[in-house]
Each structure stands twice: as structure tokens, then as C-alpha cells.
Structure 1
């Protein structure tokens, strides 16, 4: 048991000496020896020989059948973006417009009236609360993995 204790004590003393050396030399600038014989400069890489340009292609490499263009898939036009109900639109506007107005006013160093400040805060908080309160409790489709074909 004493051999492991001696070993640990010697290891701790070595660590303490290393740390003490670091602390003693903290802030000193390191002086490096300048090399007496600098290495020779590397030789420049040889320039590759120019390659001739390929001849222009005068005809297509392969012909596509005319039926290929006719069978191309053209997706149907997307449905129009649905309009949210007015209450939800006002709530979403409160989430984005109210902080934006406060940000613009503070950047321009425009002092808003306290009533306007309170109204913007109420609009933001009220919009958030309304959106959370009207959020659906169940997923639209429990087996939906999100992909659409």
C-alpha cells in the first residue's frame, strides 16, 4: 500500500512542479532560436503543357424521340393559398407586427406614448394566447408522416 501512496505522492509533486513552472513563466515572451541554416526555397512547380480545345459539336450526340417531349409530366397548378379567418390573421399580425413596430421605433429613437406601448404589448401577448388557445389538441391525421405525393 505504501508503494502506491509513494507513487501518487511523486505524481502529485511532479504535477505541482509543472504547474508552478507554468505560473512562474506566465506572461514571459518565448524566445525562439533562429535557424542557422535556412532551408532552400522550394522550386516552382512546372507549368503544364496547354491542351488543345476540343472541336465544336455540330450535331447532337443522341436523338430524343418526339414522344418523349409529349409524355412529359406537367404538374397541375397549385391551389390558391387559403386565407386565415380574420381573428387568426389579427393574432398572427400581433406576433410579428407589434415587435417590429417597437424595434423600428427604438432604432429610430422615436418615443412612443405609454398607451401605444401597452397596446402593442397587449396585442403581442393576446395574439399568442389566442393562437395557443385555438390550437388543435390532436394531430390532423395521426398516421400522417408529413410527406405528400
Structure 2
């Protein structure tokens, strides 16, 4: 990391300082590691979507809202790591890639651990995360039971 840069909020530039005609872009990352310990009331509030659901549990209403989001909303890059009790069939993993909302479901090298990611538009990071995880809730035929272990939303 460069000295003086905040690891959570930073400015990223694609051109040298002399060529910058626009103000600095702020890269904002919202992330949480979800474990068996109870979250503080502030953490719960931070990760509760406008529909009253914790983003780690997913929200079908946020899932649909992200699909019909206002183009003026921020574009978020969302990642949600989750575990399952049973493996997700390869066919189901491939079907998610063909989904019309640009979702990607991959399996890192750890068995029964998966990564669901997407770029979505939403007013808030919590809505973006709840919407992406809401895909799993909406599509229980892909995975019937899951536990989200880590969530992240980034926009710039």
C-alpha cells in the first residue's frame, strides 16, 4: 500500500496528475466478515437493507430493485462468500453464468465454499449486497441452504 493512502477509501487515477481533468474518484469499500459471534447493534444497522433484511441473508425485494435500478445510482461491485452443506452441481454453476443479470458463481479451491459476485446499481452498498445474495434466496433450486461468511461492496 502506498504511504498516506487509506485502505478503505482511496483515490485511484488512471492518468498522471498533469492529465487529470476530473476531480479525484473516491473508491469506497464496505465489507464485513460474518461469523458465529453476534454483531453489534451498529453493525446490524449498517447491514440491514431498506426492507428490514440483513444483507447476509439476502433480500428478494433488493434483488428485483437492483435489476430495475435507476441508471443514476452508483454501480457496485459486490462479492459474497458463502458455504453450503452439499456441493452445488457444475450444471447449476454454469447456469448462473448465463443468467441475464451478470452474476458469477465460482468455487474457490476450498470445498463447499463459493463466491457469488456481480456488478449492480443501487443507492447503497447494503442494497447491492442484499440484492446479490437475494439471488440465492430467489433461486433456491440452485442452493437450498447457505451461510454467507463474508460480504463486500465497492464503488468508485
Return the structure number with greater helix share.
Answer: 1
Whether TM-score is above 0.5 comes out as no
Higher RCO, 1 vs 2 (CA within 8 Å, ≥6 residues apart): 2
**TM-score of the pair, normalised by structure 1:** 0.17
* TM-score normalised by the chain length of structure 2: 0.16
Higher strand share: 2
- When Rg is computed on C-alpha atoms for both structures, the one with the higher figure is 1
